[in-house]
Structure 1
């Protein structure tokens, strides 16, 4: 099960300031990009799990580098409790109005978003849901932002299965007509998950809101272009070379590294 698919209830119902600043950071190897985040995790779990996901990332799809693909795998990786997971802490930070708290995440965010933007966009209707009635928050004709990375699926059957929203009780299911989602199935740590990610600052309009009875609410959303850029694109890495580190004294010994120039 993907616990983060239910976290739509944590989205603030206000317009926050732009997610700005990360795009100026250089592209770094995963081990280095996560260093500012180490204090947020206990007992070396972040370094350990970053090593685990990168060790299993030998021949990434979509022409991603090992570090780019591993950054997605680390995002999907479940800690012992969901609230200890990297995705939980990152999305919590993306949803706070205190944008200065994002600064330690910039290097990792640069690597992750660079990887996601290199994946082909999904232009289809995708689904997201929660086992609650939150339909009153989505008024037809209104526009909203979702500030976290939004986990969705292209399988309605999966969303209505017992492990997700089920077939009874209070449920709100979103039909999202989008053109910028990214399927991360080939880069998830859990290959069986059919997860599609929407970028932070996803902007949409509520097209319809239907009460179907028996606790079931269907809400149709349509992706829109925001009035202003709220998530700048990752800047290009400039000129770079990729090679294997042969320095035995280096923590990246025998690993693929990228050396950038002009970042």
Structure 2
């Protein structure tokens, strides 16, 4: 699902549990002027377009891909073969990814693992592999995601070798009433979806305000073990990927300007440990001699200090 509208107004998308495919209206293609400056040069627009696809869902997306980890780590050709029909000229883009990906890798990625990250970020015919994956997740249908299992396995194998971020990472979008309602509620539980984040919020905010107006939403993800894929993407811009299924809660929410723009900080929530009941072993039962003067000191074919002339049972 997406947003559509004029340059100055964004119409909220239809209701859904999944926010992973909430995207703003198509960016303006106005020529730069004094009042409409070009975007900052540090980030290219293809990366920014990935950063404004908010990777949140009110339902855990991991069950949709349960079992992908059992797939073997193969080549990029093998990984994308099940979805070949969904990607125009897939063979060409696979070859291009393998030629242009970051390899050799100082992090130990194979060429196919590096190419899997590169092709995730590659744009062709105005689309990304990441777009198609997000659309598959948004269906909430395992059958739509099963053809992607081999690719997800290869992608995750590469991501696991990359360094994790230790600070907050950012996504943003034009203001959306539905998402704002979820973020401002202390009781809402959210889960991460597969997505890309910026390391800082400044350039992302400028990009959103330039292309979609002054009222924005910026989200910071903290403690999500995001993987830095800088230099591995087609854009080569600073970028961090987050994996689906991390449980999040809003730790801080604030309206930050007169336009009603919102900044929300999301923190990983750990489920309380399960209570484990430890069963005590049954107590040993001893037979006691009925003769008071014995004091359980009579002997026989039994353990030492256990009375032989027993008749009464006690714990």
- What TM bracket, shorter-length normalisation? 0.7 to 0.9
- Identify the structure with bigger relative contact order (alpha carbons < 8 Å, sequence gap 6+): 1
Residue among 138, 152, 157 paired with 1:95: 138
Q: Which position in structure 1 is the counterpart of 2:218?
A: 173
Contact 1:126/1:154 (8 A) holds in 2: yes
Residues 148-184 of structure 1, C-alpha deviations (whole Å, 9 max, x = no match): x1211112222122x3345952201112222400110
For 2:108, what is the secondary structure of its paired residue?
coil
Q: How much does 1:190 deviate?
A: 1.2
- Structure 1 residues 199 and 36, CA gap change in structure 2 (3 angstroms): same
Aligned-partner Cα distance in 1 for 2:143–2:171: 29
Aligned-partner Cα distance in 2 for 1:32–1:176: 33
- Structure 1 residues 179 and 200, CA gap change in structure 2 (3 angstroms): closer
For 1:200, what is the secondary structure of its paired residue?
coil
Residue among 106, 116, 124 paired with 2:149: 106
Aligned-partner Cα distance in 2 for 1:168–1:37: 37
For 1:59, what is the secondary structure of its paired residue?
coil
Contact 1:182/1:197 (8 A) holds in 2: yes
Q: Which runs of 4+ in 1 moved over 6 A?
A: none
Aligned-partner Cα distance in 2 for 1:35–1:227: 41
- Structure 1 residues 165 and 122, CA gap change in structure 2 (3 angstroms): farther
For 2:196, what is the secondary structure of its paired residue?
strand
User: Is 1:27 aligned to residue 70 of structure 2?
Assistant: no
Give TM-score scaled by structure 2 length: 0.65
Q: Which position in structure 2 is the counterpart of 1:156?
A: 201
Higher-Rg structure is 2
Aligned-partner Cα distance in 2 for 1:226–1:151: 25
List gaps (5 residues or longer) in structure 2. 1-44, 274-315
Q: Which position in structure 2 is the counterpart of 1:52?
A: 96
Q: How much does 1:198 deviate?
A: 0.7
Matched length: 220
Q: How does 1:1-263 map to 2 (within 5 A)?
A: 1=45, 2=47, 3-8=49-54, 11-16=56-61, 18=63, 19-42=65-88, 44=89, 46-57=90-101, 58-82=103-127, 85-133=128-176, 134-138=179-183, 139-147=185-193, 149-161=194-206, 163-166=207-210, 169-191=214-236, 193-212=237-256, 213-225=258-270
For 1:110, what is the secondary structure of its paired residue?
helix
Q: How much does 1:116 deviate?
A: 0.8
- Structure 1 residues 168 and 215, CA gap change in structure 2 (3 angstroms): farther
List gaps (5 residues or longer) in structure 1. 229-263
Aligned-partner Cα distance in 1 for 2:134–2:271: 20
- Structure 1 residues 59 and 21, CA gap change in structure 2 (3 angstroms): same
Larger strand fraction of residues: 1
